[in-house]
Amino acid sequence: MTDAAETANVHSKKRVPIKEGFLTTPLSDLREAKLQGSRCASCGEVFLGIQHGCQSCGATGMETVVLSNRGKLYSYTVLRNRPPGNYMGPDPFVPFAVGLIELPEGIRVISPLTHCNLDSLHVNMDVELALDRLYEDEEGSEVIAFSFRPE
């Protein structure tokens, strides 16, 4: 992934999120965009992205919430082999860390950890959201993926 600050200054290309509903809009300034989720109006459980029903209690009343861009590293690992299928990361493959990030809204999100030293990661460390261009799609739009980085 390229550096967030660098891609933030490129406005000429259309930007789309890696999955519709995962990020706030607009994406013109990636330092301002955040992860987006849904909160169940009945039980309060929070999910990533747009949800039409609650996986916890089954209620259908869901409200959109903006998720904090700071969290704690609940746990993590390092992927030492190229992930299978149509992985869009660097080629040749570079090992990278994946974490389970606990956010104050009461959700833990699985996310790549970027801009970090693989040997300095530890459980409970403070991390913050980083949005970067992952690849360019068939229409020439920049596809924006999320990751977290040590604060």
Partner 1 sequence: MREVVIAGVGLHPCGRFGDKPYVDMGREAVAAALKDAGIAWSEVQAAYCARMYLPATSGARILKTLGMTGIPIADVEAACASGAVALSQAYMAIASGFYDVVLAFGVEKMPRGFMDPSAIYEDWQIRMGLAVNPMYWAIAAKRHMADYGATALQMAKVSVKNHKNARTNPYAMYRREVSVEEVLSSRMVCDPITLLMVCAPNEGAAAAIVCSAEFARKHSARPVQVAACVPRTSLYPWFRAPAAYVSARPNPPSVTTRAAREAYEMAGIGPQDLDLVELQDTDACSEIIASEELGLCPVGEGGRLVDEGISEIGGRLPINPSGGLLSNGEPIGASHLRQIAETVWQLRGEAGERQVEGARVGLCHVVGAGGNAAVTILKR
- Binding segment for partner 1 among 2-10, 14-22, 26-34 (CB under 8 A)? 14-22
88 scored as a contact of partner 1 (CB under 8 A): yes
11 scored as a contact of partner 1 (CB under 8 A): no
The one-letter amino acid code at 99 reads G
- Binding segment for partner 1 among 4-12, 26-34, 46-54 (CB under 8 A)? 46-54
Helix/strand/coil (H, E, C) string of the chain? CCCHHHHHCCCCCCEEECCCCCECCCCCCCCCCCEEEEEECCCCCEEECCCCCCCCCCCCCEEEEECCCEEEEEEEEEECCCCCCCCCCCCCCCCEEEEEEEECCCEEEEEEECCCCCCCCCCCCEEEEEEEEEEECCCCCEEEEEEEEEC
- Least gap, CB of 8 to partner 1 (angstroms): 20
State which of residues 4, 107, 116, 144 lies at the interface with partner 1 (CB under 8 A). Answer: 107
State which of residues 50, 102, 115, 125 lies at the interface with partner 1 (CB under 8 A). Answer: 102
123 scored as a contact of partner 1 (CB under 8 A): yes
41 scored as a contact of partner 1 (CB under 8 A): no
User: Between the CA of residue 129 and those of 52, 57, 83, 148, what are the distances in Å?
Assistant: 25, 29, 22, 4
50 scored as a contact of partner 1 (CB under 8 A): no
Residues 131-150 vs partner 1: string with x where CB under 8 A? ---xx-------x-x-----
Spatial distance between the Cα atoms of 60 and 3, rounded to a whole number of angstroms: 39
- Least gap, CB of 65 to partner 1 (angstroms): 13
Residues that bind partner 1 (CB under 8 A): 18-19, 22, 45-48, 55-56, 74-81, 83-89, 96, 98-100, 102-103, 106-110, 112, 123-124, 134-135, 143, 145
